[in-house]
Amino acid sequence: MTQQDARAATAPQPATTDEPPRVLVCAGGTGGHLFPAEALASVLTGRGWRVELVTDVRVADLGEDFPAQDLHVVPSGTISPRHPIRALKGSMSIARGYAAARRLINRVRPRIVVGFGGYPTLPPLIAAAHLKVATVIHDQNAVMGRANRVLAPMASGIATSFDTVKHLDERHMFKARRVGVPVRKAVLIAAERPYDPPQVGGPLRLLVFGGSQGARVMSEVVPGGLAQLPADVRARLEVVQQCREEDLKAVRQTYAQAGIAAELAAFFTDLPKRMANAHLVISRSGASTVAELGVIGRPGLMVPLPHALDNDQLFNGRALEVAGGGQVLEQAGFTPEAVMRIIAGFANDSSSLAEQAAKARAFGIPNAAEALADFVAEIAEGGMGGVSPA
């Protein structure tokens, strides 16, 4: 018996035809990986699939409301080349996760395994590939993540969110398809609201946030910049801003002294609704934020996280900027004076905001979850293969 035959003999046999097709959805590390997975799971469940979530201990609690019939926690770890001891510990944890994932796949017998990036997806996706189970990896960013770069050669299909993805090897392009970033239902509901351009002399509504945990730079720069605007422009501003708890008092005081109407909070549970209400969004440019700006159709002044791994936020923001849906302002140039100039320009020429909003909406992919579900079903049926054609 050849080695290939031996592997085939140990591969999990598919579930019986009278059972719903099963899919293992693998996401962990951050909620940013989990939320697109949740959107896919909702679509697949609606189509009659049995969805089971594979995650790691860090976000296991976030998976409580995930639309999956079972939740499995598989060990994983981060490989840090600059820290040999951490790298060794991470490798050992991944090895334990690989063994656990093989046992899980043999027990569950999924039709396909889908990963959403991050090191927690390595054990189950590698195990699935070795067991000859179809796999799909999804990457949210315009720069392919490091875990997905490892998985790309063995994946059956690669789902991307942008037309151009840095570090996606040309040898794997034949099995790649742009589907976009699956977004939450709340985003799709918010997208139903058309853009209402600011009127001459009327309110100019700004939404400012910096990710799920806030960003101190937003609190340090935006209020001071808006406070420098002429009094007639300040009187028109309606600001909604997410701030860290420790920054709330100082930000509130700055806005009050400048006579700017502002609603501040450490966290907003209805951020998509507030995004739809805004004339301009000032934010980071994480993959989910850029996707939501596009789907809802709102112009963004995007300040990429300068220390993000592989500078992915810069490339995400640039993609929307090139499409005409917003502007990237790197953090080195993100100053109160720069904010003042940009907002003053929009206050005097609101037509440019309307144009950016329209182009942002054209850039967005509201049916990304359905497109990804179609791709997953196609791969599960053997529509594409993971071996490069000769």
The list of the chain residues with pLDDT below 70 reads: 1-17, 29-31, 57-64, 77-90, 211-214, 383-390
Q: Which amino acid belongs to residue 159? A: A
CA distance 218 to 242: 9
Q: Are residues 60 and 153 in the same domain?
A: yes
Q: Count how many domains the chain has.
A: 2
CA distance 69 to 25: 11
Q: Which single residue is written with the structure tokens 């080195």? A: 332
SS (H, E, C) the chain: CCHHHHHHHHCCCCCCCCCCCEEEEECCCCHHHHHHHHHHHHHHHHCCCEEEEEECCCCCHHHHHCCCCEEEECCCCCCCCCCHHHHHHHHHHHHHHHHHHHHHHHHHCCCEEEECCCHHHHHHHHHHHHCCCEEEEEECCCECCHHHHHHHHHCCEEEECCCCCECCCHHHHHHEEECCCCCCHHHHHHCCCCCCCCCCCCCEEEEECCCCCCCHHHHHHHHHHHHCCCHHHHCCEEEEEECCHHHHHHHHHHHHHHCCEEEEECCCCCHHHHHHHCCEEEECCCHHHHHHHHHHCCCEEECCCCCCHHHHHHHHHHHHHHCCCEEECCHHHCCHHHHHHHHHHHHHCCHHHHHHHHHHHHHCCCCHHHHHHHHHHHHHCCCCCCCCCC
Please count the CA atoms within 13 angstroms of the CA of 101 that sit on its side-chain side: 31
CATH of the domain at 315: 3.40.50.2000
385 belongs to a structural domain:
no
Contact present, 320 and 302 (Cβ < 8 Å): yes
Q: Are residues 79 and 224 in the same domain?
A: no
Q: Are residues 264 and 310 in the same domain?
A: yes
Q: Which single residue is written with the structure tokens 């989910």? A: 288
Domain enclosing residue 221, as ranges:
190-363
Q: Which of 269, 267, 257 is CA-nearest to residue 223?
A: 257
Contact present, 285 and 317 (Cβ < 8 Å): yes
Tallying the residues shown for the chain, one arrives at: 390
**What's the pLDDT score for residue 4?**
41
CA distances from 3 to 10, 130, 206, 210, 386 (A): 11, 12, 61, 51, 19
Q: Are residues 153 and 129 in the same domain?
A: yes
Q: Which of 253, 304, 267 is CA-nearest to residue 282?
A: 304
Q: Are residues 72 and 134 in the same domain?
A: yes
Q: Are residues 206 and 350 in the same domain?
A: yes
Q: Are residues 119 and 143 in the same domain?
A: yes
Q: Which pTM value belongs to this model?
A: 0.88
Q: Are residues 177 and 196 in the same domain?
A: no
| Tokens standing for residue 198 | 């600011």
389 belongs to a structural domain:
no
Q: Which amino acid belongs to residue 23? A: V
Residue 315 dihedral angles phi and psi, to the nearest 5°: -70, -35
Q: Are residues 179 and 230 in the same domain?
A: no
103 belongs to a structural domain:
yes
372 belongs to a structural domain:
yes
109 belongs to a structural domain:
yes
Q: Which amino acid belongs to residue 145? A: G
134 belongs to a structural domain:
yes
Q: Are residues 263 and 208 in the same domain?
A: yes
387 belongs to a structural domain:
no
Q: Are residues 18 and 43 in the same domain?
A: yes
**What's the pLDDT score for residue 32?**
72
Environment class of 101 (CB within 10 Å of its CB; exposed 0-12, middle 13-18, buried 19+)? buried
**What's the pLDDT score for residue 29?**
62
347 belongs to a structural domain:
yes
Task: State pLDDT tens for residues 230-289.
Answer: 999 999 999 999 999 999 999 999 999 999 999 999 999 999 999 999 999 999 999 999
Contact present, 34 and 27 (Cβ < 8 Å): yes
Q: Are residues 335 and 372 in the same domain?
A: no
**What's the pLDDT score for residue 184?**
87
| Tokens standing for residue 265 | 């909070």
